[in-house]
Structure formats: C-alpha cells, structure tokens
Homo-oligomer: A and B are copies of this chain.
Amino acid sequence: MSFTLVGEDAQTRARAGVLKTPHGEVETPVFMPVATQGSVKALSQEDLESLGVKAILSNSYHLYLRPGTPTIKEAGGLHRFMDYKGMILTDSGGFQVLSQADLRKIDDDGVSFRSHIDGSSHRLTPEKVIEIQSELGSDCWTALDECPPYPSTEAQARQALERTMNWLDLSATAFLKKRAEGASALFFPILQGGFFPELRLRATEHMAKIPADGISLGGFSVGEPKNLTWDILGRTIEHLPREKPRYLMGVGTPEDLWDAVASGVDMMDCVWPTRVARNGQVMTRAGRYNIGGSACRRDFRPLEESCRCFVCARYTRAYLSHLHRSRELSFYRLISYHNLHLMFEIAREIRKSIVDGNFAQSRRAFFSGLSKERAAA
C-alpha cells in the first residue's frame, strides 16, 4: 500500500497519513501549490524547498501544449526539467479543455480542441492523457474526465458522469499497461457526479472497481455555494474506502483546509494563495487584507506579526505596500511566499492536531481567531 493512516479524529472524518510516492513521502493532510506551467507563479524551486513543499500540482494539458511533452521527455521528465525533487500530481487537462467552451468539441471518445496559445488543433483521449503523464514522469496520474459546470441539470451531470466513467475504464486499462511496463506512478482517477448525491453514489460504486491508488474528487469549486460543497463532499466520502487517500481538486483557503479535512479529505491544491497574493491580498490568521489599502502605507509592522517567514522577518507593510503601488516585480514573489508559508503552517497544525487527538478544538480555535472585518477584505 502506498498510503498509511497514522491518526484519525474521533469526532470528525479527519485523518492523518503518509503517502509514499516515487519522489518521496508526503505527510497528509497536505496542501499542494499549483505549478500549472511547471512553475509555482513568482516563486523558484529554492523557495519551494525553503517552504518545505513536498508535493505540487502541475497540468498535463498546459505542459503538453507548451513546451510540449517531447521537450520534457528529453529533459529527463518534469522533475528534471523543473529541477524539483518532490512529488508531482498532474491534472488531466479535462477541466482546462472543457472550460474553453468555444475552442473545443467533446464526443464519446475524447475531446478535440484548439490550442489557446497558437490555435493549433489537438485531440485528447483517455489513452492519450495517460501517455502524456507517462512522458512527463509525474508521480500521481489523473484521468480524462468531463467536469460539468455549475449549475447543471441532473441530465447534464449524468451525461458527463457516464462519459467520465467510460473514459475511466479506458484510462485504467492504459494505466495498468504502463504499470506492467514498469511505471511506478500512482493512479488518482477523478470522481464526478455534479451536486447530485445519487450520481456521486453511482460514481463511488464505479470507482470501487478501478485499480485506484487514490481518488481525486472533481467537480467541486466550480462556483457552487460552500455549504453545497461540504454537503455533497461529505455524502461522497462516506462511500469511499477508508484506506485510499482522497484528493479534493481546486480547494482552497485556510478555512477550506480545516473544513475539507473535517470532511475526510487528505490532499488539496489551489491557486488561491498565490493568485490573491498577486492582487495584493495578504493572508493572516485573522483573515486577509489588501496591502494596497492606505492604512499600510505608513505601517512599519511585518505582514503578520506572529509570522516567521523570511518576508516577515525583514520587510514592513509600508515597504511592501510601496513595492505594490510602484509595480515592482519583487512584490509578487514576496507576498506569494508569505501566503504559502501560512498555508503550510496551517496544514502542519491540522496534521499535528489530528495526531494529538485535538483536531476539533484546534479547528474551533482557528475559526474563532478570524476577524469578521478581515475575512471580508
């Protein structure tokens, strides 16, 4: 088994574990920063190392289009191309292709689309997506899926699920062939079903027959209200096997981290901490604030007084506010670093609280530390 549970919370579904991958062990719950194009935006691999990043998400669709899988294969795989030594999970690209409605055509066998970069024509099939991930040499592979938009009718969500399940059977066959040929990657197929409990149940029953090492929970974080996310997520996870890691795709914020883990999630990824950073949003334990606000201009405190990241150790809000208003490039890196530092600190706290048996109390303490004003910033 590649996944070992080391602790489970008595009051919630929270669990702590260790995922063994071809590029190291990853302690869960884990938050994975996103390196869509082979770079966590504004950061370098030295930064990831000093942040203690052991797992990232990358995107097979983006890398297939640019620089192209032949280049990455020639480099010796994505790890060597980036010179990043930790675990890489690759998204299938289904979400990216399908979100560009005017550039693609979907049929029962796959998706035809035009490149958003140069307009060239491409086709992704379940087998092709496995092949791309094999060439990238990532550690955890997903499968081509159809992610229905929000809102969708039950009929739309059912059609997308049927297609996803058919594709998953083909993906599993392609994956097993690669494994038989010596591939050491783990298989993390994507479970869909929209926001319909019956469809999600059907998806879990189908997933039970798939040789999955972990289960990717897709179709969330597509614009639905948060209570719906947690409701459907909870109803889905209760039908999933205890022994397999669960990866919730595209979530989230520090609050989401606690809530997803309480629902039984082990792995998450999101562009959120670095995206809001580039917009000047500083994350703190009390919530977030905008460095562009006039209150920061002559505020000589660090971004967050309790923070121990290198940015908070030496730069003030006033200086970072100046870099932001002056559009200095260094700004993007410094705020992105601080925001990710907080995400990892929280993820470590969450794990420790599960192991120590006080997850629920720690979660309450975290939420009670949020300021209403800041959370609304």
Say whether A13 faces chain B, with CB atoms less than 8 Å apart.
no
Q: Tell which of B39, B278, B318, B333 touches A75, judged by Cβ atoms closer than 8 Å.
A: B318
Q: Tell which of B37, B81, B310 touches A328, judged by Cβ atoms closer than 8 Å.
A: B37
Binds B, one of A43-51, A146-154, A226-234, A369-377: A43-51
Separation in Å of the A10 CB from the closest CB of chain B? 43
Q: Tell which of B44, B66, B314, B328 touches A41, judged by Cβ atoms closer than 8 Å.
A: B328
Restricting to A256-283, which residues have a CB under 8 Å from any CB of B? Answer: 278
Distance, CA A315 to CA B46, complexed state (A): 11
Restricting to A24-68, which residues have a CB under 8 Å from any CB of B? Answer: 37-39, 41-46, 66-67
Is there an interface contact between B67 and A328, defined as CB atoms closer than 8 Å?
no
Say whether A71 faces chain B, with CB atoms less than 8 Å apart.
yes
Binds B, one of A126-134, A171-179, A319-327: A319-327
Q: Beta-carbon contacts of A192-203 to B below 8 Å, as 1s and 0s? A: 000000000000
Complex contacts, A310 vs chain B, CB 8 Å: 46
Say whether A298 faces chain B, with CB atoms less than 8 Å apart.
yes
Is there an interface contact between B37 and A319, defined as CB atoms closer than 8 Å?
no
Say whether A208 faces chain B, with CB atoms less than 8 Å apart.
no
Distance, CA A83 to CA B334, complexed state (A): 14
| Contact flag A326-B39 (CB < 8 Å), given A67-B297, A318-B71 | yes
Tell me how many chains of this kind the complex includes: 2
Say whether A74 faces chain B, with CB atoms less than 8 Å apart.
yes
Is there an interface contact between B314 and A83, defined as CB atoms closer than 8 Å?
yes
Complex contacts, A96 vs chain B, CB 8 Å: none
Complex contacts, A367 vs chain B, CB 8 Å: none
Say whether A138 faces chain B, with CB atoms less than 8 Å apart.
no
Complex contacts, A297 vs chain B, CB 8 Å: 67, 71
Is there an interface contact between B326 and A329, defined as CB atoms closer than 8 Å?
no
Complex contacts, A321 vs chain B, CB 8 Å: 67
Say whether A220 faces chain B, with CB atoms less than 8 Å apart.
no
Residues of A within 8 A of B (CB): 37-39, 41-46, 66-67, 71, 74-75, 81-83, 278, 297-298, 300, 310, 314-316, 318-319, 321-323, 325-326, 328-330, 332-334
- Closest 8 A/B residue pairs (Cβ): A42-B329, A39-B328, A83-B314, A67-B322, A37-B326, A329-B332, A39-B330, A44-B330
